[in-house]
Amino acid sequence: MLMLAAVLLVGVLALVGLLLAWSPGRLEPFRDENGRPLAGSISEKTFVNINGVKQGMLIRSRDTANPVLLYLHGGMPEYFLTQRYPTGIEDHFTVVWWERRGSGISYRPGTPVKDLTLEQFIADTREVANYLRQRFGKDKICLMGHSGGTFVGIQTAQRAPELFHAYIGMAQMSHQLKSERLAYEYMLARFREQGNRGMVRRLEAAPVTMDGGTPAGYLALRDPAMHPLGIGTTHDMSSHITGVFLQSFTCRAYTLTEKVNLWRAKSQAGVSILWDDILATDLSQRVTQLETPVYFIHGRYDYTVSYVLAREYLAKIRAPVKGFYTFDQSAHSPLFEEPEKMNRILLEDVLAGRNSLADVR
């Protein structure tokens, strides 16, 4: 017994040592053909006081003269996915992966839940946008929301159009309770077709309804059910554990403590805090007019946020320019799944203020 305990202890210590060695917490610089840091580039992890709270962001660009794109994450920060799914957008933009208060590297134990509200997130987004405009000498920046980040992003763009060149909603939320009901029905049907009695039984025990909402049993089952069906984070990701959880621990931009905090925050910050507000809100009724160009980016296989509802939502919006773009090989994360197509849309339509590549205008 003592021998087994000793072996286990050695194994744990070795794992911790490996994780520490793989977690320097720094961003690698862009380099020129001679291996030297690329002149004019930026690769920085920084912390800024935003409305009284120190908040972290990772900034990457081959040329800081490029347009600035502020990325609003959903339920948790997603920068670590760029290691497996490089996006290439830092070739054309100064990309700011902001990790908002209560999340990721901005997580602080004991953060009051009362400080994690929609109004606070909107105020913080505006403050970050102003910080970036001043720092990089830009009149306006691009704002991209993903999933739960779109709930905050589109409302920020509506209230402060003077800050933004364009708003890009990737997996744009509209009526999320209805989206969850559609996802529930789809998963139940698919697992019945597959003869997966265990999953069918668990879903039937926690039904999503328009009156009863999303029960705890369904939310606990949501990721394990979506990913094997190819309707979760990415179309090719069959497991949330290997594709997201373990992947986050391989990202060298974070220290080991920051990696642990990423998941500590997941249970209490960001979208989880706003979930009741999100379910109670039909954005297609609340936000129907914007003064900035609006672009919706959506994966055809996405059931985390409904593709069908997002497409219907865009039809209700009045904006100077608008476009809906279908990514046929993607689920919830087109930026990571089809980056070449995304970059073409960003360059040829978003920056040009056009919608020539859109499926629906």
Contacts of 16 (CB under 8 A, 6+ apart): 256
- pLDDT band per the 50, 70, 90 thresholds, residue 9: very low
Residue 93 has pLDDT above 90, yes or no: yes
pLDDT tier at 361, thresholds 50, 70, 90: confident
Mean pLDDT for 31-35 is 92
Beta bridge partners, 54, equal 49
Estimate to the nearest angstrom the gap between the alpha carbon of 17 and the chain centroid.
Answer: 30
Q: Residue 266's pLDDT is what? A: 84
Contact 244, 86 (CB under 8 A): no
DSSP single-letter state for residue 87: -
Specify which of 4-8, 34-38, 107-111 reaches the highest per-range mean pLDDT. 34-38
pLDDT band at 241 (very low <50, low <70, confident <90, very high): very high
Q: Are 324 and 314 in contact (CB under 8 A)?
A: yes
CATH number at residue 146: 3.40.50.1820
Mean pLDDT of 65-72: 98
Q: Please name the amino acid found at residue 298.
A: H
Position 152 scores a pLDDT of 98
User: Can you tell me whether residue 250 is helix, strand or coil?
Assistant: coil
Residue in this structure with the two tokens 């608008």, named with its chain if needed: 322
Number of CB atoms found within 10 A of residue 139's CB:
8
| Angle, alpha carbons 249-252-255 (nearest 5°) | 75
What per-residue confidence (pLDDT) applies to 270? 44
Count of other CB atoms within 10 angstroms of residue 16: 11
Lowest mean pLDDT among 205-214, 269-278, 343-352: 269-278
Structure-model confidence comparison of residues 268 and 315, the more confident one: 315
pLDDT at 88 > cutoff 70: yes
Q: How far apart are CA 327 and CA 333, in angstroms?
A: 9
Whether pLDDT at 6 is above 60: no
pLDDT tens per residue across span 97-131: 999 999 999 999 888 878 889 999 999 999 999 99
Task: Please tell me the total count of domains within the chain.
Answer: 1
What order do you get walking across the sheet with 294-299 strand by strand?
A: 42-50, 53-61, 94-99, 68-72, 141-146, 164-170, 294-299, 322-327
Contacts 24+ apart (CB under 8 A), 114-123: 115/53, 116/269, 116/270, 116/273, 116/274, 117/273, 117/274, 118/151, 118/152, 118/155, 118/274, 118/277, 120/51, 121/152, 121/274, 122/152, 122/155, 122/156, 122/159, 123/51
pLDDT band at residue 23, thresholds of 50, 70 and 90? confident
Domain around 310: 1-361
For residue 111, report the phi and psi dihedrals to the nearest 5 degrees.
Answer: -60, 125
Residues 150-194 pLDDT 10s: 999 999 999 999 999 999 999 999 999 999 999 999 999 999 999
Please, what is the average pLDDT of the chain? 92
**Residue located via tokens 């205008």:** 361
Do residues 197 and 324 make contact, with C-beta atoms less than 8 angstroms apart?
no
Asked if the model's pLDDT at residue 295 lies above 60, the reply is yes
- Matching residue, tokens 């911790």: 16
